[in-house]
Amino acid sequence: MRVVLAGTFAGLGGIQVHLSSLARVLVDAGHELLLISFGKARGGANDAAVEELRSHRAIRVEFVGAGGAVATLLTVRRVLKQFRPEIYFACGTGWNLFAGAILCRVPKLVFHEVMSGESYGWRDSRNFVKRFFHRVVAQAQPVADNFARSFDWKHPIEVIPAFAQALEGRAPVSRHAVPLGAARAAIFGRLVPHKRVAWLVTQWPRLKACLRELHIHGTGPEEPIIRDLIAKHRLDGAVFLHGAYPSGAAYAELLSRYDVTLLPTVGAEGAPLVLLESMACGVPFVATDAGGIRDYDNPDCVMTSVGDPETFLNGVETLAKQLAHGEIDQHRLQTFYDSHFSHEALAPRWKAFFNSLPHS
């Protein structure tokens, strides 16, 4: 089939990782692809990945959105008319993500919800989905439930997790204990207020009873705030801010150095891929149950309430004690990931979903 994947391919976020992996899976299944990426190419590692996709004979890549709303709409209409897709698969938000495909009357319109599923009100461009789209697929069950409620979607929603980084070279792990107070904890991701990383740094006087170190990997607007907190409270040697982190095998090797990862988010999450990547390396996590995170529930990780910060701190203490008592099975955690969220587990599900679309 001729398939359009429309979203944002430039950049290094979880959505970009997922869409690039999905594109490869669909090409391997014999589909002809047009990737429409909204926004300018940014340069860097992910744009190199886009160029690698472009090298496939069955993939065409178009960057749109650099010339304003009207120009973007006209460009999308033009490339769709040339390509004549049978399926338009939209991931993200923005009027032009939807309008061009609707105007071109693509036979099958599919929306992929990778955010929380919550509506931002009447201005939310996802309101187009109920009226014009044929199918919705979400990356987690809570996300699907939120979307159906928020946008009054009356039809079934397919739930298929997103692809995390492949993490080439990750090593198999074995069960091991970590003495209380010796665990090295890490946070990976964008440093924005709703992730509550700066707040967690202020809780170090309590956390140091059960953790030896806290390592923060990522960039974002809270970076200078976190740096100032480390200096103000003299946390050098205990709390570390490292900046951007690598991908692939280097990321897997870095993740494997830690005993636990943390995500105290209170934001409108989808289902963060950093938690999948932690499990892939056999590293347990403590996270709030925001958005679709509940779908990652397993015996070797701890989830806490979004609304009460105290429960997150209690969760860190709980997991640290479980690690000390040898109750966490790192090998079981890695196997859980392999069975439910690995590329090998998800690729057949995505192929089957796309193959079902012409008949649904």
Query: What percent of the chain lies above the pLDDT cut of 90?
Result: 79
Average pLDDT over residues 53-57: 70
- Is residue 232 scored above 90 in pLDDT? yes
Average pLDDT over residues 173-194: 97
Q: What is the pLDDT of residue 267?
A: 87
**Cβ-Cβ contacts under 8 Å for 126 (sequence gap 6 or more):** 93, 111, 113, 119, 147, 151
Q: What is the pLDDT of residue 188?
A: 97
Weakest mean pLDDT among 8-22, 69-83, 282-296, 326-340: 8-22
Residues facing 159 on adjacent strands: 138
Residue 90, classed as helix, strand or coil, is: strand
CA–CA distance, 1 with 358 (Å, rounded to integer): 9
Question: Per-residue confidence at 171, pLDDT binned at 50, 70, 90?
Answer: confident
pTM of the model: 0.92
Q: What is the pLDDT of residue 63?
A: 83
- Is residue 331 scored above 80 in pLDDT? yes
- Is residue 252 scored above 60 in pLDDT? yes
pLDDT tens-digit series, residues 336-358: 999 999 999 999 999 999 999 98
Q: What is the pLDDT of residue 54?
A: 66
Q: What is the pLDDT of residue 66?
A: 67
pLDDT tens-digit series, residues 133-167: 999 999 999 999 999 999 999 999 999 999 999 88
Q: What is the pLDDT of residue 348?
A: 97
Q: What is the pLDDT of residue 70?
A: 87
CA–CA distance, 261 with 283 (Å, rounded to integer): 7
Query: What percent of the chain lies above the pLDDT cut of 70?
Result: 94
- Is residue 275 scored above 90 in pLDDT? yes
- Is residue 85 scored above 70 in pLDDT? yes
CB 276 within 8 A of CB 165: no
- Is residue 45 scored above 70 in pLDDT? no
- What's the chain's average pLDDT? 92
Nearest-10 crossing angle of helices 95-103, 69-83: 40
Nearest to 337 by CA among 304, 308, 300, 305: 300
Distances (CA, A) of 55 to 27, 32, 38, 49, 357: 12, 13, 20, 10, 27
- Is residue 41 scored above 80 in pLDDT? no
10 Å Cβ neighbour count for 218? 21
Question: Per-residue confidence at 42, pLDDT binned at 50, 70, 90?
Answer: low
Nearest-10 crossing angle of helices 14-28, 45-54: 20
Q: What is the pLDDT of residue 13?
A: 77
